[in-house]
Amino acid sequence: MDRSEAATTLLLWQVEGDPHLADALGKEHGSLLSLVESVSAVVPPRPRPAPPSPVSDFLHLREESAAEELRSRLRALAPFLPPEEREELEHRLESGLLPETRLATVLRDVERLEARYLKEHLTEDFGAWVVPPRPVLRAVLLFARDGRLLAGEGTAPVDPTTLAGLISRGEAGSTWSLVQKAVTLVGHLGARSALVAVFEGRPRADAGATLRLSVGSLEQRDRLTNALGRPGGHEALRAFVRAVRMLLDKNA
């Protein structure tokens, strides 16, 4: 221990009012150094004060952490923002320490941009996933009410005998839908005839209404109703079924 350190120790004892110091001053008449050394031998050791916190921890304020989090969120959004919008936000976050009021304003703007991104991109992705594929009209079949197949357009992977039974037992004026394997059948029964449309996929909701109107139109036309009772296909009936198919295809 040198003289300077001894003087500092003595000053500390005097400030703290150490009782050992009063006893020593009454007994010792030597130098300052010998006085401090003799008292140090009987003074209990004092715990050393904890070192100060690192400068980086001291300066790492709440506002700085909030600003860094905003920069991170902005970097994630950057590829989806117009350049001028991105640069304007980056400029507002240039300083490492910003007032809370300014941080709150920037936070609202970043949240608004995040919400806009989710609305634009997730709506597109979700829409592509849930929208069903466009239905494909495979065939349109015209039956007499006794179940005879009179005319058809297209190829239907359906047993006509099964449909004949449904039509002959069905109630006039009824519209129905039936899912069979990979196709959906939509039909309408009139007083003397019935139309059945065969779709691959889910048809539009108004397919039944189109068939109902078509059957009504058919049964109001004498030339076509007369053809219903003739054996075999009739060109007029085939032309009618072709027109119905075109109408359904247009509205599908």
pLDDT at residue 95, rounded to an integer: 63
pLDDT at 55: 47
Would you state the pLDDT for residue 10? 63
In a domain, 10, yes or no: yes
Domain boundary among 113, 130, 147: 130
Confidence tier at 56 by pLDDT (50, 70, 90): very low
Same domain? 154 vs 241: yes
Same domain, 210 and 115: no
Domain assignment present for residue 216? The answer is yes
In a domain, 53, yes or no: no
pTM strictly above 0.85: no
If one counts every other C-beta atom within 10 angstroms of the C-beta of residue 84, the result is 7
Considering 68, 101, 130, which residue would you say is the last residue of a domain?
A: 130
Q: What percent of the chain has pLDDT above 70?
A: 64
Q: For residues 218 and 194, give the distance between their C-alpha atoms in angstroms, rounded to a whole number.
A: 10
Report which residue type is found at 110: V
Domain that holds residue 89: 58-130
Rounded average pLDDT over 174-181: 87
pLDDT value of position 57: 46
Q: What pLDDT was estimated at residue 75? A: 83
- One domain, residues 93 and 32: no
Within a domain: 217: yes
Mark whether 162 and 231 lie in a shared domain.
yes
**pLDDT surpassing 90 at residue 231:** no
- Averaged over 47-76, what is the pLDDT? 65
Is the pLDDT at 186 greater than 90? The verdict is yes
pLDDT value of residue 61: 62
Regarding whether 117 and 30 lie in a shared domain, the answer is no
pLDDT at 199: 92
145, 219: one domain: yes
H helices of 93-183, where? 100-117, 123-130, 160-169
For the chain, helix, strand, coil in percent to 5 are 55, 15, 30
pLDDT of 168 over the 50 cut: yes
Q: pLDDT per residue over 85-117, tens digit each?
A: 888 888 887 765 667 777 788 888 888 887 777
Q: Assess if residue 48 is contained within a domain.
A: no
* One domain, residues 29 and 65: no
Judge whether residue 173 has pLDDT over 80: yes
How far is residue 197's CA from residue 180's CA, in Å, rounded to a whole number?
A: 13
Distances (CA, A) of 122 to 119, 126, 128, 188, 193: 6, 6, 10, 40, 48
Written as six digits, the tokens of 44 are: 């209990």
The residue type at 168? S
Do residues 125 and 159 share a domain? no
Q: How do residues 194-219 score in pLDDT, each as one tens digit?
A: 999 999 888 888 899 999 999 998 88
- Do 151 and 243 fall within a single domain? yes
| 144 is a domain residue | yes
Q: What is the CATH number of the domain that holds 187?
A: 3.30.450.50
Is the pLDDT reported for residue 79 higher than 60?
Answer: yes
- For residue 52, is it within any domain? no
Of the three residues 75, 98, 130, the one that is the final residue of a domain is: 130
Per the structure, the count of domains in the chain is 3
Same domain, 66 and 171: no
Indicate whether 121 and 185 sit together in one domain: no
Examine residue 29 and state whether it is found in any structural domain, yes or no: yes
Contact, 145 vs 172, CB < 8 A?
yes
Is 145 in the same domain as 211? yes
What pLDDT is recorded for position 18? 58
- Between 10 and 243, the more confident residue is 243
